[in-house]
Amino acid sequence: MSLTTALIDSPQQAAEILRSGGLVAFPTETVFGLGVDATCDAAVEKLFVAKGRPSSNPLIVHIADASRWTDAAAAITPSAQSLLDAFAPGPLTVVLPRRAEISGLVTAGLDTVGVRVPDHPVAAEVLRLTERPIAAPSANRSGRPSGTRWRSVLQDLEGRIDAVFREDGPSLGVESTVVDCTGPVARVLRPGAVTLEQIRNVLPDAEEVSADPERGDRDAVRSPGTLHPHYQPRASVQLIDSPAEIDATRTKRVAYCGLVPVEATESLVLCSVFDSVDAYAAAFYEFLREVDRQEVTTVYVQLAAAEGIGHALRDRQRRSAGLQ
Ligand code: TXA
Ligand code: MG
């Protein structure tokens, strides 16, 4: 595949490309999304090729307004309605029964569809002007860290997609929380920027689901995307609780990120210390990308505590190290 990837800055241009079956990366409040018309099989097929994404991993469908859920889903449930009332627009995806017009490639053959209303002026305007449900996975090559800067998107996808929206906004840095709302009890399939505590304030019985294969096939099938490798830099990722675990003599080029400062050494070529877990989450993917640009061999990642947004960050950190 070789396309000329245009750098664009008008939602109108993005909408025109999307309406004609093209692929456009645009910013959302979480990470950049790679958008495509969710009703067009041929366009969706191109997207899977561009990302190198396994066809068994379904895509989230984005809509301009929560009241337009019928653009993507065949029915809504009380749990989904409550979550949308509380968090839409925002970093939340509700899984509902699929509407027939949504391409079966988008849902990877499932009878359900993930629906999200992004809270970002560019994403919202693109969706409003396109007037179609837009499937948008994170705008990275499959397996790589997600991108929160247009230059990172270009690095992964130049020549493979039609356009990238040239705008970097503040982003939360972790993706939306995916909640299966099809059953009697809501189930959090992927932790994300809406915290588990916030979900349980609305739905006290919401369960968290692990994709750990030992917990049975049902969960694995319910949350297919969590089984594939994700967020991995080329460097070896070592998860640590404290910087005391850093072995700076072992390799020549070491990197560290975390909340606790470390002492400079000759082999520590890249170091990012954050003053809050929110700042840590916002910067984590771009830090991993910088690790590769600097040809680091081992990156030490201080694990976030599993509370608030730290819960989602910790999940991404574990996956970057190849753990489930
Ligand atoms: O914040 C986000 O959600 C970003 C921005 C661009 O909106 N998108 C994103 O998409 O993270 P992606 O494709 O990287 O991750 C989608 C996740 C995967 O884990 C996938 O398995 C899950 O959502 N998913 C999508 N549809 C599903 C469905 N019908 N049932 C269960 N899980 C689903
Ligand atoms: Mg992704």
Tokens of 245: 């675990």
C-alpha 63/C-alpha 113 separation (Å) is 12
Which of 44, 51, 93, 230 has the most ligand 1 atoms within 8 A of CB, as the residue to mutate? 93
Q: What is the pLDDT of residue 37?
A: 98
The Cβ of residue 204 has, within 10 Å, a number of other Cβ atoms equal to 7
Q: What is the pLDDT of residue 215?
A: 47
Q: Are 61 and 134 in contact (CB under 8 A)?
A: yes
> 138 to each of 176, 231, 234, how far by Cα in Å?
10, 11, 19
Pairing mode, strands 187-190 and 177-180 = antiparallel
**Which protein residue's CA is at the shortest distance from atom 15 of ligand 1?**
137
pTM of the model: 0.95
- Sequence-ordered list of residues with C-beta below 8 angstroms from that of 254, at least 6 positions apart, any chain: 246, 248, 265, 267, 268, 269, 296, 297, 298, 299, 300
Ligand 1 atom closest to residue 107's alpha carbon, by position in its atom list? 29
What averages of pLDDT result for each successive group of 10 residues across the chain (324 residues)?
Answer: 90 98 98 98 98 96 98 98 98 98 97 98 98 97 95 97 94 97 97 98 94 48 67 94 84 91 92 98 97 95 97 97 90
- Find the 138 Cα to ligand 2 centroid distance in Å: 4
Q: What is the pLDDT of residue 234?
A: 92
Tokens of 6: 């245009």
**Which protein residue's CA is at the shortest distance from atom 19 of ligand 1?**
225
Q: What is the pLDDT of residue 216?
A: 44
Ligand 1 atom closest to residue 224's alpha carbon, by position in its atom list? 21
Which ligand is closest in space to the CA of residue 174?
A: 1
Which of 62, 95, 175, 313 has the most ligand 1 atoms within 8 A of CB, as the residue to mutate? 175
> 165 to each of 12, 58, 169, 253, 310, how far by Cα in Å?
11, 23, 11, 34, 29
Q: What is the pLDDT of residue 169?
A: 79
